[in-house]
Structure 1
Amino acid sequence: MKLLRRFWIPLIIIVVVLVGGFTVMRVRTFFGAGDGSGFASAKVDDTKPFDPKVVVYEIYGVPGATADVNYLDLDAQPQRVDGVTLPWTLRLESTAPSVFPNIVAQGDGNSISCRITVDDELKDERTSNGVNAQTFCLVKSA
């Protein structure tokens, strides 16, 4: 009796763990989760190649003016290019199913424009006027 008083909590924990483990095993085998297929199925390896997306960033304005350009590359990582001469163009290709093109530019001229095309289709174009004009273009999903 003294031994049972001392070890009743660890015994309850062991019983609960065993019953819980048995229940999880039964539920997994009942629903077919224990067949070992996991994520490595033949369907994943059988994907068909597709044409890459071509994203073109363009910044243009007063010829000969310079601009500081910030954009997202196709992995959505910010990139910065300072002091580029206008017009400026960057062409990127991706095999990702979706991309998020975004560009911001500020120039030293009184007018600046941006344009984003994806697969030769114009997605966004903006123009800004003023001293040291700033503009941005954004495509939510392409």
Structure 2
Amino acid sequence: MVVVLPISALVVSRLHKIFGSEDLNANAGAGIEIVQFNPKVVLYEIYGSAGATANINYWDADANTHQVNNAPLPWSFTVSTTLPSVSANIMAQTDGSRIGCRITVDGVVREEKKSDGVNPQTFCLVKSA
């Protein structure tokens, strides 16, 4: 019995080497390679009457709200992100007689609105860019 166990272990070891026992999980835990991609570029624009100013609220790439008071028109702001998707939202009100907003994503106008009147306001929204 004492001789049989070491001989059995040796035979099993040799058979594993001969028949190519391999670690099927050799790359386990290595992780998935992250492929870099071009960032999204979101351009916010507010335009209106010459010499007018506007109070502007917009979202950044993480949907945090930012406020700009008495911004001279035209006004623009660019957000660049590597997030796979981003929501863009801008609201503005002017002391002039007309106002417009535009959201451009990667050079393509995705939303544009205009408003006229006394202290007009407008908003533009792109739910998923």
How does the TM-score come out when normalised to structure 2? 0.77
1:84 maps to 2:71: yes
Query: Who is 1:94 aligned against?
Result: 81
Structure with the higher strand share, 1 or 2: 2
**Is residue 65 from structure 1 mapped to residue 46 from structure 2 by the alignment?**
no
- Deviation of 1:42 (Å): 1.1
Name the amino acid aligned to 2:44.
Y
Q: Pick from 93, 98, 104: which aligns with 1:117?
A: 104
What TM-score does the superposition give when structure 1 sets the normalisation length?
0.70
2:115 is matched with 128
Query: How many percent identity over aligned positions?
Result: 53
| 1:56 aligned residue (33, 40, 43) | 43
Answer 1 or 2: which has greater helix percent.
1
Q: Which runs of 5+ in 2 are unaligned?
A: 1-27
RMSD of the alignment, in Å?
Answer: 1.1
Q: Which amino acid aligns with 2:96?
A: G
Among 24, 31, 36, the residue aligned to 1:42? 31
- Flag the structure with larger Rg: 2
Q: Tell me how far apart the structure 2 counterparts of residues 105 and 83 of structure 1 sit (CA, whole Å).
A: 10
CA distance in 2, matches of 1:41, 1:108: 58
Residues in 2 aligned to 1:78 and 1:135: alpha-carbon distance in whole angstroms: 16
> Which of structures 1 and 2 has the larger relative contact order (alpha carbons within 8 angstroms, sep 6+)?
2
Amino acid at match of 2:31: A
| Unmatched segments (≥5 aa) in structure 1 | 1-36
- Which residue type is aligned with residue 62 of structure 2? D
Shift in Å, 1:41: 5.3
